[in-house]
A and B are shown apart, each in its own frame.
Chain A
Amino acid sequence: MNKPRKPWIRLGVATALATSGSSCASMPIQSSSPQARRSPGSYVEVTLGRYLARAGDCQSCHTARGGIPWAGGRAVPTPFGVIYSTNITPDPATGIGDWSFEDFYRSMHEGVARGGRHLYPAFPYPWFTRLSRSDVRAIKVYLDTLKPVRQRNVPNELPWPLSMRSAMAVWNKLYFDAGAYQADPKQSAQWNRGAYLVRGAGHCGACHSSKNFAGATDMQHPFRGGMAEHAYAPDLTSSKRTGLGHWSVADIVEYLGTGSNDITSAAGPMAEVVKMSTQYLSTDDRRAIAVYLKSLPASRTQDEDASSSDNIDDAVMRAGKAVYVDDCQGCHMDEGKGIPGVFPPLRGSSAIVVEKPQTLIQAVLEGAQIPPTHAKPTGLTMPAFDRKLSNAEIADVLTFIRNSWGNHAGAVSEGAVGDMRDTLGNSPE
């Protein structure tokens, strides 16, 4: 249940932001005295901490599905095995109640928990390391205000040698570069704020980047799209067709704040990110994020864009169109026009011609909900078609959609739909 935000709380957030904005530009390193560590924290600091914890979407991962908020236990599937998030309530026995600020800072900054235990990068410390010390302190102060919950952490399901945490020391040496964000003096304060949020708390690149065989993000070329659990997190660079090249700053601000815009709506894991995280960001911060994202050079040239579609068989297009007319057109309208702001258009949408179609396949199989937000509370929902459509029909209709009305993108194979059914655990009847 979301409580209506009271104006005085918004005022508090605004004040807190003004503070954090100036601190991130000048990057002061504050030391925290032991007394300060245990102090309950000022109102401004607690509010800032809550704001940053939302910006980092901490609660989503640190809450099991249907579980107690912040008490951990959510399974995070990785290519190596399942990792379970931990209890970060201030319970001394099972949470982080007896962690000092230095303990907490080390975990965020170096990926090392209290007692020297290495954390796995499913906890995105390669991104959180960019946070300023004062911001990390605010997050800890905020977490200390939560209700302590006694709930033991679930052991991870990782094979040897990954099950040995010391293995991560090697990983860190190879792939991890600790250090707070350093402002780029050539760029504006707004751009730097955006970069700080995207590369730090927001850890956008954790999903929206490709990863190597060891699960490490390609930090040289981040934000070009990558897999996020079962879904594909699209290219955030300025590629015209598959990226944000055709999105305006205002489009990004609206999407992050409300869950949809005239181009598309959030689906898959991003729906949860908007609902739990980005809708709480101030308009200034969402704008800063947009300005930063729009500055990312296109990952693909327009020529590469144009050459990436397959030759699609006419029979597939005919079959796909038949499914489209029967099952999709009622909401997405003829020629994929959609109703901008209501039912997402499919024509000319970067979300449709993405490199990997997993998010689209998942949406057709399981349905998808535009995340209900404070700005757009409705939560319009697309039904699941897993029982109505066969793998071949889903492949055909997605191929049709991805290659009609000016769209062009790779064909979707029946096998890819079947794989997603297996992953989601729903086999065709």
Chain B
Amino acid sequence: MARRRDPVDVVLVGFGWTASIIAQELTGEGLEILALERGEYRDTVPDFAVPHIQDELRYAVRKQIFEAPRRETLTFRNNRKQRALPMRHLGSFLPASGVGGAGVHWNGQAWRFLPQDFELRDFVEQRYGKSFIPEHMQLQNWGVTYDELEPHYDRFEYLCGISGQAGNIAGIRQPGGNPFEGPRQRDYPLPPLKRSASTVLFDKAAREAGMDSFPCPAANTSEAYLNPLGVQMGKCTYCGFCEWFGCGNYSKASPQTTILPVLLKKDNFHFRTHCNVVRINTDTSGRRATGVNYVDADDQTWEQPAEMVVLCAYAQHNVHLLLLSGIGKPYDPETGEGVVGRNYAYQITSSVDVFQKEILNPFMGAGALGQGVDNYNTGNFDHGPQGFIGGGYIALWNTGGRPILQHRLPKDAPQWGGGWKKAMRENYLTATSIATHGSVMSYRHNYLDLDPTWRDAYGNPLLRLTFDFQPNEHAMSNFLTDRATDIARAMHATSIHPKPRQGHYSIIPYQTTHNTGGTAMGDDPRTSFCNRYLQSWDVANLWVMGASVFPQNAGYNPTGTVGALTFWAAAAMKRYIRQPGPLVAVS
């Protein structure tokens, strides 16, 4: 029997990026806000302090700051004919645990999606016709447009102190920036990061190959930065330990470095750690959330009543919680009906390793220190001759040169022993890699539901992931890999090694922590769980933040768009609290 806590106005499930933004915005409205975080409290010092944080074995290999699969995981299969098995080791993606969420361990690659990404179905139908869309591809519009989101992208970028080079300010092309980007109201808050030797080579080669190269937008500060909340950030030292690490010198944007110093001082905000939310409670009508149940570190179950519930956990956890709580109609791939678990998508990536003659010093890096080209993203080229939908960026990221996982050897190098050591010595300083980062569309048979067999530490059914790459994605990714190879050739390398993504999706090798969908946003309650404001169609005081609202995934890293959508939803919540009810009428 759950013991009952004092009610609050708003309970936030999770305390990462989206919860921090919502809390900062709604505490300003005078509401009493509580965040429930399953992990521990963490701050720059002592938890990410230099030089302890630069420990590749502890953090990158042994995965110190991520979700522990023994507590919560999911089961996986490629298709419905298979029996799903639990993921017992983290691999393909790395959900976080602890205050700050994945905002602590991301690289800081902070993109905006293209205007067409938000109206993808309309865009494809208008440019290529309905028949261009493959069978079972569930292409959807988002219900929100780029122009509507632009001010919210801007707020997130200025919160974080993004370093970058604008390509389009209010419709006017800016030299050196991404010529394809949607119009932005003003430049990035900070100039681009300093270039590395390898990004300079890439830049030259991409131009030679006829593409438009630009510095990628980075949530690693190129200069010290004071954000609009008055929070001071340092200046990136290019230590090369961003991805999978916390930042030790206040120069990677995270909740800790941008919001928490202000938020945690507010009297009307509280958080509790080691509190794992296991249910969203509703009243007898099922149309109103009354709060959540959570289990604390002593395995005590508590009921936390609240006037509003906002799901701010990682994408698949939001979906899991809704399925466990019986809110929204679970998706059924047989009939194509139902919305919870529908339109799960991911990211498809590939790379081309490049071995140069000149010394590149790869260890001087930053998570989002990169030079990119966007010529082959969503609407930036003609898909007609290619026959696929979607696209992605190609970039040379100089994230770092960590010894265990960030070295590259030519194809024919020995795998062990003296030969391996020799190859390492010869190549460590001169090798680099070009990455492609492709979109993944949503399909009828890629989805999330509850596993009939396996249960988690709390006795609840695990989430089950049924997912595979489809021919459209392979065609798109192969096309991107070929273009990346064109650039690699233009780098006049000693040798190159293209690594296309082939075959079935595997949950074992790390790819990206860009899991999307399952609670899509949209205009139609039959195909989306929440409306264009991220408010549940069925339960008006329940909101869902994060990438689970993406109807399909675009060819960019998701955090920039997650941040923009959160500010967009927070603005809607401010209207909602003055006049509670659905913000979009169901026709």
A342 with B235, Cβ < 8 A, contacts A383-B45, A383-B46, A383-B50 known: yes
Are the C-beta atoms of A339 and B234 separated by less than 8 Å?
A: yes
Q: Given the complex, which residues of B lie within 8 Å of A40, measured CB to CB? A: none
Whether a CB of chain B sits under 8 angstroms from the CB of A97 is: no
Complex interface: chain A residues within 8 A of B43 (CB): 381
- Give min CB distance, A55 to chain B, whole Å: 22
Give every chain A residue within 8 A of B237 (Cβ-Cβ): 330-331
B261-294: CB near A (< 8 Å → 1, else 0) gives 1100111000000000000000000000000000
Let me know if A382 and B45 touch, CB within 8 A. yes
| Contact residues, B216-267 vs A (CB, 8 A) | 224, 229-235, 237, 239, 248-250, 261-262, 265-267
Which residues A330-368 have CB closer than 8 A to chain B? 330-331, 339, 341-343, 367
> Considering the chains assembled together, what is the distance between the CA atoms of A379 and B261 in angstroms?
7
Q: Are B248 and A383 in contact (CB under 8 A)?
A: yes
Please name the residue on chain A nearest to B236 by beta carbon.
A330
Inter-chain contact A380/B250, CB cutoff 8 Å: yes
Residues in B with CB closer than 8 Å to A414 are none
| B267 in contact with A3 (CB, 8 Å) | yes
- Verify if A147 is at the interface (C-beta below 8 Å from B): no
B51 touches A378 (CB 8 A): no
**B44 within 8 A of partner (CB):** yes
**With an 8 A cutoff between CB atoms, is A376 at the interface?**
yes
Q: In the complex the two chains form, is A327's CB within 8 Å of B234's CB?
A: no
Kindly report which residue of chain A lies nearest to residue B263, judged by CB atoms.
Answer: A377
Asked whether any CB of chain A lies closer than 8 Å to the CB of B90, the reply is no
Interface of B is mostly: loop
Q: Given the known inter-chain contacts A1-B267, A2-B265, A376-B230, please indicate yes or no for A381 contacting B51, CB distance below 8 A.
A: no
Q: Does A410 contact B (CB under 8 A)?
A: no
Chain B residues with Cβ below 8 Å from A367 are: 45-46, 49
Contact A342:B248 (CB < 8 A) given known A1-B267, A330-B239, A377-B261: no
With A330-B249, A380-B250, A383-B50: A339-B44 Cβ-Cβ less than 8 Å? no
Asked whether B224 lies within 8 Å of A378 as measured between CB atoms, the reply is: no
A314 at the binding interface (Cβ < 8 Å) = no
Contact B224 A339, beta carbon cutoff 8 Å = yes
Taking a contact as CB atoms closer than 8 A, the residue among A375, A377, A381 that contacts B262 in the complex is A377
By a CB distance below 8 angstroms, the chain B residues around A341 are 224, 232
A377-B262, A380-B250, A383-B45 known; A342 vs B224 contact (CB < 8 Å): yes
In the complex, the answer to whether A342 meets B232 with C-beta atoms within 8 Å is yes
CA distance A56 to B254 in the complex (A): 37
Cβ of A339 to closest chain B Cβ, rounded Å: 5
Query: When chains A and B are docked, how far (Å) is the Cα of A2 from the Cα of B45?
Result: 21
| Partner pick for B50 among A330, A376, A377, A378, CB 8 A cutoff | A330
The interface residues of chain B lying within 8 Å CB-to-CB of A379 are: 261
**Contacts A342-B224, A381-B45, A383-B50: A330 and B248 contacting too (C-beta < 8 A)?**
yes
Residues of chain B within 8 A of A388, CB atoms compared: 51-52
Most chain A Cβ neighbours within 10 Å, of B51, B232, B233, B239? B232
Q: Using a CB-CB cutoff of 8 Å, which residues 359-406 of chain A contact chain B?
A: 367, 369, 372, 375-384, 388
**Is the CB of A429 closer than 8 A to any CB of chain B?**
no
A326 to B54, CA, bound (A): 12
A336 CB to closest chain B CB, in angstroms? 15
Q: Which of A293-314 contact B (CB under 8 A)?
A: none
Distance between Cα atoms of A330 and B49 in the complex (Å): 11
Structural contact, A342 and B234, CB atoms closer than 8 A = yes
Contact: A377 with B265, CB < 8 Å?
yes
- Which residues does chain B contribute within 8 Å of A330, judged by CB atoms? 50, 237, 239, 248-249
Closest to B230 in A: A377
Interface residue tally for chain A (C-beta within 8 Å):
25
Give the chain B neighbours of A382 by CB distance below 8 A: 45
Q: In the complex, are the beta carbons of B230 and A339 less than 8 A apart? A: no
A165 to B384, CA, bound (A): 96
B162 to chain A, nearest CB (A): 18
Q: Is the CB of B234 within 8 A of A331?
A: yes
The one of B49, B231, B235 that contacts A378, using a Cβ cutoff of 8 Å: B231
Kindly supply a per-residue 1/0 record for chain A positions 121-159, scoring 1 wherever the CB is within 8 Å of any chain B CB and 0 otherwise. 000000000000000000000000000000000000000
Whole-angstrom distance from the CB of B524 to the nearest CB of chain A? 43
Task: Determine whether the beta carbon of B232 is less than 8 Å from that of A384.
Answer: no
CB of B163, distance to nearest CB on chain A (Å): 15
Residues of B within 8 A of A378 (CB): 230-232, 250, 261
Please indicate the chain A residues that have their CB under 8 angstroms from the CB of B50 in the complex.
Answer: 327, 330-331, 383
B45 to chain A: which residues have CB within 8 Å?
Answer: 367, 369, 381-383
- Give chain B residues whose Cβ lies under 8 Å from the Cβ of A1: 265-267
Query: Contact flags (1/0) for B31-60 with A, using CB distance below 8 Å?
Result: 000000000000111100111100000000
Measured between beta carbons, the chain A residues less than 8 angstroms from B250 are: 378, 380
A residues in contact with B231, CB < 8 Å: 377-378
A367 to B44, CA, bound (A): 12
Residue of B50, B235, B267 most packed against chain A (CB within 10 A)? B50
**Cα–Cα, bound, A349→B2 (Å):** 58
Residues of B within 8 Å of A339, CB to CB, are 224, 234-235
How far in angstroms is the closest Cβ of chain B from A423?
21
Interface centre among A327, A375, A380, A381 (most CB of B within 10 A): A380
In the complex, are the beta carbons of B230 and A380 less than 8 A apart? no
Which residues of chain B come closer than 8 Å to A376, judged between CB atoms?
Answer: 230, 232
B248 — which chain A residues lie within 8 A by C-beta?
330, 383
CB distance from B220 to the nearest CB of A (A): 13
Chain B nearest CB from A84 CB (Å) reads 29
Distance to closest chain A CB from B362 (angstroms) = 18
Q: Write the nearest CB–CB distance from A267 to chain B, whole angstroms.
A: 14
The distance in angstroms between the C-alpha atoms of A377 and B260, with both chains bound, is 10
A342 to B236 Cα, complex, angstroms: 13
Contacts of B234 in A (CB 8 A): 331, 339, 342-343, 380
**Identity of the chain B residue whose Cβ is nearest the Cβ of A329 in the assembled complex:** B237
Please give, as numbers and ranges, the residues of chain B lying within 8 Å of A326 by CB-CB distance: 51
Q: Give Cα A375–Cα B226 distance, bound, in whole angstroms.
A: 12
Complex CA distance for A375 and B231, rounded to whole angstroms: 10
Q: Using CB atoms, name the residue of chain A closest to B227.
A: A378
In the complex, which residues of chain A have a beta carbon less than 8 angstroms from the beta carbon of B230? Answer: 375-378
Cα(A343)–Cα(B236), bound, Å = 12
Determine how close the nearest CB of chain A comes to the CB of B135; give it in whole angstroms: 54
Hey, which chain A residues are within 8 Å of B267, CB to CB? 1, 3
With a cutoff of 8 Å between Cβ atoms, the chain A residues found around residue B249 in the complex are 330-331, 343
B235 neighbours in A (Cβ, 8 Å): 339, 342
Contacts of A342 in B (CB 8 A): 224, 232-235
Question: Could you list 7 further interchain pairs (A-B, Cβ under 8 angstroms) beyond the known A331-B249, A380-B234?
Answer: A1-B265, A339-B234, A341-B224, A342-B234, A367-B45, A375-B230, A379-B261
| Shortest 3 CB-CB contacts between residues of A and residues of B | A383-B49, A381-B45, A378-B232
26 inter-chain pairs at a CB distance below 8 angstroms, sorted by A residue, are: A1-B266, A3-B267, A327-B50, A330-B239, A330-B249, A331-B50, A331-B234, A331-B237, A339-B235, A341-B232, A342-B232, A342-B234, A342-B235, A343-B249, A367-B46, A372-B265, A377-B262, A378-B232, A379-B261, A381-B43, A381-B45, A382-B45, A383-B52, A384-B46, A384-B49, A388-B51
